């Protein structure tokens, strides 16, 4: 077919000339940026060694001990002529071929070379290309379609008309400092849907331009041998699993649902009384009120964010970009309650509707701040329990700078450690030490059972003397009442 040529892994490289480098773009498709929860202002890159090249039919080998082998369907550009300090308008003219690629990698090793991705992305066979090359002069770079199938199921389908960084811009940006030579390969990013595959799975990727097609790049995943012990070994944690699985990831809640239901079944006032009986009278987060209409009780595990007083010379460093405030939101897992130490300052916002929406999308159980929130009317409609000391229209930078996350904080005077349990209802918010939760639930239920009995007696005219709290004279009557309640 005109406009394409064949290539297989038996060839030296797609162009017959060994590439001096393979350059991969981190984020480029809006759909993938939405999955990741961030939109970069400029492209960023990493290198893959030429030894990682493979062709259609080759196996992608997952080392033994790894569980997170990720596939990423991508469009690969093969440079045809030397590019050095070219303009975005001229960038595309230096591309000779377009083909399908799989930017494979094992997330289990990402920690070892974070940023460079050498071990996680650079293994032999982790960059399959092909099977055919499309002539770049015969295709519209803004009208290419990329599709990926796993075991015959379509999992990625996107086009290049809305890329964050068009292909010509990528070539120009790289050529400002890095000379691109003929045969060099640029992997241009993956759309939403990239996830994890396992041995036995078949990954197929195709790039089309109208009637022109690269054909399907087919690579089966196979199980490899274990890595030798003299170096970093595979390991996976919840954060890496989430990154690897992408939109397919369904994380486990951070709080046992049984304990969450138990805490939700009793009132904050009852928990407060039980904590005080145990010598813990200062566990309430005072001065915070529910934003919007009262709803279901808030129960979750504390994830903390600390603000410090504003210092103008440090704000650009700590307050802009992916600052601690945004990191805290992106670190949330299902069942987390984001608890903020805003120094009890109600004259500055610590959360707006966009970040509150993102917290809800992340599965947060709620937010507590001893500062103010902005966009309070919009927050009230999100269905996310939010407790704040007040409302204020200011944006970040008026009184605070977000400093760090995951540290012990003082929220309205109460000490909150990451991992503490946070419970809120119409009466307020309380901190529950996790090692006490089982007995607190049991004793709180018993207390509320006694209070139901007491309320019934008061309702028919009984005096509270000796009844509230339940005294010896009422014990037999209470036991009989309990028997009736259990029937």
Q: Which residues are annotated as a binding site?
A: 352-355, 374-375
What is d(CA 406, CA 328) in angstroms, rounded to the nearest whole number? Answer: 8
Which of these, 485, 445, 443, 451, lies nearest to 470 by C-alpha position?
Answer: 451
What is d(CA 407, CA 339) in angstroms, rounded to the nearest whole number? Answer: 11
Give, in order, the Cα–Cα distances in Å from 183 to each of 130, 293, 328, 405, 466: 14, 62, 42, 45, 91
- The pair of structure tokens assigned to 183 is 């045969």
Residues 6+ apart with CB under 8 A from 209: 98, 134, 138, 139, 140, 143, 144, 145
What is d(CA 110, CA 126) in angstroms, rounded to the nearest whole number? Answer: 14
What is d(CA 74, CA 456) in angstroms, rounded to the nearest whole number? Answer: 69
Binding residue positions for Mg(2+): 375
Find how far residue 10's CA is from the centre of its chain: 40
CB-CB neighbours of 472 under 10 Å: 7
Crossing angle of helices 257-264 and 437-459, in 10° steps, is 30
Which of these, 64, 57, 107, lies nearest to 224 by C-alpha position?
Answer: 64
Q: Which residue has the tokens 């590019």?
A: 83
Instruction: Please state the φ and ψ torsions of residue 338, each to the nearest 5 degrees.
Output: -80, 120
Beta bridge partners of residue 338, listed in sequence order: 303, 367
Residue 412, by phi and psi: left (phi above 0), alpha (psi -120 to 50) or beta? Answer: left
Q: Which residue has the tokens 């939405």?
A: 34
- The pair of structure tokens assigned to 136 is 């770049």
Helix (H, G, I), strand (E, B) or coil at 2: coil
Binding residue positions for substrate: 352-355, 374
Q: Are 169 and 91 in contact (CB under 8 A)?
A: yes
Please work out, in degrees rounded to the nearest 5, the angle formed at the alpha carbon of residue 159 by the alpha carbons of 156 and 165.
110
């Amino acid at each position: 077919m005109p406009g394409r040529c064949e290539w297989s892994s038996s060839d030296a490289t797609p162009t017959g000339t060994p590439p001096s480098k393979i350059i991969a773009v981190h984020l480029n498709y809006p759909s993938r940026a939405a999955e990741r929860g961030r939109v970069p202002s400029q492209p960023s890159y990493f290198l893959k060694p030429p030894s990682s090249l493979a062709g259609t039919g080759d196996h992608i080998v997952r080392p033994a001990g790894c569980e997170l082998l990720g596939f990423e369907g991508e469009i690969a550009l093969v440079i045809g002529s030397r590019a050095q300090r070219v303009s975005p308008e001229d960038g595309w003219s230096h591309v000779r071929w377009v083909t399908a690629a799989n930017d494979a990698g094992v997330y289990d090793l990402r920690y070892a070379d974070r940023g460079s991705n050498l071990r996680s992305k650079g293994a032999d066979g982790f960059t399959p290309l092909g099977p055919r090359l499309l002539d770049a002069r015969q295709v519209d770079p803004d009208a290419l379609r990329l599709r990926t199938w796993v075991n015959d199921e379509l999992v990625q389908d996107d086009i290049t008309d809305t890329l964050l960084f068009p292909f010509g811009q990528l070539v120009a940006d790289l050529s400002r400092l890095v000379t691109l030579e003929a045969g060099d390969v640029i992997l241009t990013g993956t759309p939403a849907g990239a996830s994890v595959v396992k041995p036995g799975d078949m990954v197929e990727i195709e790039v089309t331009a109208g009637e022109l097609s690269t054909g399907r790049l087919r690579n089966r995943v196979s199980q490899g041998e274990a890595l030798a012990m003299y170096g970093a070994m595979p390991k996976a944690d919840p954060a890496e699993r989430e990154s690897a699985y992408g939109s397919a990831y369904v994380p486990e809640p951070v709080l046992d649902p049984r304990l969450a239901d138990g805490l939700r079944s009793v009132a904050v006032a009852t928990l407060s009384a039980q904590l005080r009986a145990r010598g813990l009278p200062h566990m309430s987060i005072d001065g915070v009120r529910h934003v919007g209409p009262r709803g279901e009780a808030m129960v979750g595990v504390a994830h903390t964010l600390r603000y410090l007083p504003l210092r103008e010379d440090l704000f650009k460093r700590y307050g802009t970009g992916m600052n601690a405030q945004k990191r805290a939101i992106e670190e949330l897992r299902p069942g987390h309650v984001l608890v903020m130490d805003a120094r009890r300052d109600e004259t500055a916002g610590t959360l707006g509707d966009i970040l509150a929406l993102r917290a809800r999308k992340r599965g947060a159980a709620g937010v507590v701040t001893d500062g103010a929130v902005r966009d309070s009317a919009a927050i009230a409609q999100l269905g996310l329990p939010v407790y704040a000391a007040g409302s204020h229209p200011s944006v970040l930078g008026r009184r605070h700078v977000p400093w760090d996350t995951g540290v012990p904080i003082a929220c309205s005077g109460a000490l909150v450690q990451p991992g503490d349990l946070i419970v809120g209802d119409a009466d307020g918010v309380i901190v529950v030490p996790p090692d006490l939760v089982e007995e607190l639930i049991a004793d709180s239920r018993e207390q509320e059972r006694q209070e139901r009995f007491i309320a019934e007696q008061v309702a028919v005219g009984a005096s509270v003397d000796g009844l509230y709290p339940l005294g010896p004279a009422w014990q037999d009557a209470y036991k009989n009442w309990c028997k009736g309640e259990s029937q």
